[in-house]
């Protein structure tokens, strides 16, 4: 029998969460509405008290445990948002929790987990990915006979996340044509798509993943839940090597489609939301908006909902976000430049090779006294992406061109 989400259980979860999770706004966004010529509203789960929707599933799961299970305590693994939801729930329910987090988790998320859980939680940092942390957490859980609170592959967690769908349908009088939801492990996509299939079957529910972690897309294409060999962990809140089995089964039945978005496009969306709307989102929280460019023809004149899933962004990542956005827009370029070892070579490069509005943003050079040419790693920001070919041509004509690093990712990551 195929996995299903029981709508009555979701309604019970909504009642349970009434005094725990905020009923977040469903707010029209004028900038996006005008840009795409349709009615776009944002479901602002970034405004939850733990700054993501994860409180819903975490609390619903922990509250469903028996008194004996609660006395022993719970264990979870998370890249951050689920951990905060679990920590908040442990504090509210006075339950001991041990939370395993992967090493690359932003420091800001770790500090938030400590703040929400207080004396009721212990944090263990381990592994390079969520999957590594999850494996360690499972072992610990079995050894200590504790209850595991999975971030997405659990019936009660899915039912908790599904309460978002009930709220959306309560908050709008218009029929929703498209609903875009981020996909990491698939819990929120499974819950929402199930409820919309039952209560608003004409709505197309589209899941959105990062290009570097297309776990659900790959699994749906293959017709079986698969584990990816490698993922890009940049969008940490939506990067897992394998989605949940329950979630895969449900999404296979009810999701209208899946789309993947380049990480650079997500970064540009983060910057745009901040600069134009003063909305702060984490990378996973921007997925449902970043994908809109792919649907700009289909959504014209339609009613669109985008789930903004979280705002737990670490300010120290801002420069990396800007960098990735500019690289994706073809405005930032890195070269190995061969400088003649003579006076005035750099001046010639700046005055006669660079365009009038080009800017050097990165420069690494060591003079070699026993060579005629000295290599330098140079980062150049262009005003227009169309200027790149002309810049390369000027470099080659005057003998400065060495290597173009953007097209050599292994060398690019090593040098820059």
Which residue numbers are catalytic? 54, 309
Strands 121-125, 97-101: pairing is parallel
Residue 61 and residue 152 in contact, taking contact as beta carbons nearer than 8 Å: no
Alpha helix segments (H runs only) across 240-360: 245-254, 263-277, 283-290, 318-328, 345-348
Q: Does residue 41 contact residue 26 with C-beta atoms inside 8 Å?
A: yes
Tokens for 144?
């200590």
Q: Could you tell me the sign of the dihedral formed by the alpha carbons of 334, 336, 340, 342, in that order?
A: positive
**Cα–Cα distance between 154 and 75 in angstroms, integer?**
14
- CA distance readout (Å), 1 to 4, 5, 7, 192, 308: 9, 13, 17, 20, 33
Q: Give the CA radius of gyration of the chain.
A: 24
Q: How deeply is 249 buried, as exposed, middle or buried, from its count of CB atoms within 10 A (0-12, 13-18, 19+)?
A: middle
CA distance linking residue 181 with residue 51, whole number of Å: 16
Q: Distance between CA 7 and CA 197 in Å, rounded?
A: 11
For residue 202, the surrounding DSSP H or E stretch is none
User: Computed from CA positions of residues 252, 258, 264, 270, in that sequence, does the dihedral angle turn out positive or negative?
Assistant: negative
175 and 303 Cβ atoms separated by less than 8 Å: yes
Distances (CA, A) of 351 to 14, 358, 359, 367: 65, 11, 11, 21
DSSP state of 146: P
């Amino acid at each position: 029998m195929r996995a299903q989400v029981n709508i009555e259980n979701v309604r019970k979860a909504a009642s349970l969460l009434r005094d725990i999770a905020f009923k977040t706004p469903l707010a029209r966004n004028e900038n996006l509405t005008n840009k795409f010529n349709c009615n776009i509203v944002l479901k602002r789960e970034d405004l939850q008290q733990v700054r993501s929707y994860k409180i819903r599933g975490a609390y619903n799961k922990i509250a469903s445990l028996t008194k004996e299970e609660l006395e022993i305590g719970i264990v979870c693994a998370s890249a951050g948002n689920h951990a905060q939801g679990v920590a908040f729930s442990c504090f509210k329910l006075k339950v001991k929790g041990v939370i395993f987090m992967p090493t690359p988790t932003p420091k800001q998320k770790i500090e938030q987990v400590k703040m929400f859980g207080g004396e009721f939680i212990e944090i263990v940092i381990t592994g390079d990915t969520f999957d590594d942390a999850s494996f360690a957490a499972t072992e610990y859980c079995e050894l200590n006979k504790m209850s595991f609170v999975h971030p997405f592959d659990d019936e009660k967690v899915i039912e908790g996340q599904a309460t978002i769908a009930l709220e959306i349908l309560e908050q709008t009088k218009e029929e929703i044509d498209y609903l875009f939801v981020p996909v990491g492990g698939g819990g929120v996509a499974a819950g929402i798509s199930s409820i919309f299939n039952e209560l608003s079957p004409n709505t197309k529910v589209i899941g959105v993943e990062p290009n570097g972690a297309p776990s659900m897309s790959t699994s749906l294409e293959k017709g079986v839940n698969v584990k990816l060999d490698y993922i890009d962990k940049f969008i940490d809140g939506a990067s897992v090597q394998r989605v949940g089995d329950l979630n895969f089964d449900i999404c296979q039945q009810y999701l209208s489609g899946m789309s993947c978005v380049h990480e650079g496009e997500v970064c540009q969306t983060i910057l745009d939301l901040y600069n134009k709307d003063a909305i702060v989102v984490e990378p996973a929280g921007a997925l449902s908006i970043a994908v809109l460019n792919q649907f700009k023809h289909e959504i014209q004149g339609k009613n669109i909902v985008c789930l903004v899933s979280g705002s737990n962004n670490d300010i120290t990542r801002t420069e990396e976000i800007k960098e990735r956005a500019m690289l994706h827009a073809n405005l930032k370029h890195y070269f190995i430049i061969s400088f003649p070892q003579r006076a005035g070579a750099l001046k010639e490069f700046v005055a006669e090779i660079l365009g009038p509005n080009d800017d050097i943003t990165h420069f690494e050079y060591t003079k070699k006294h026993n060579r005629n040419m000295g290599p330098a790693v140079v980062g150049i920001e262009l005003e227009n992406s169309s200027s790149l070919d002309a810049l390369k041509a000027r470099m080659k004509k005057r003998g400065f061109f060495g290597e173009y690093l953007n097209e050599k990712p292994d060398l690019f990551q090593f040098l820059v």
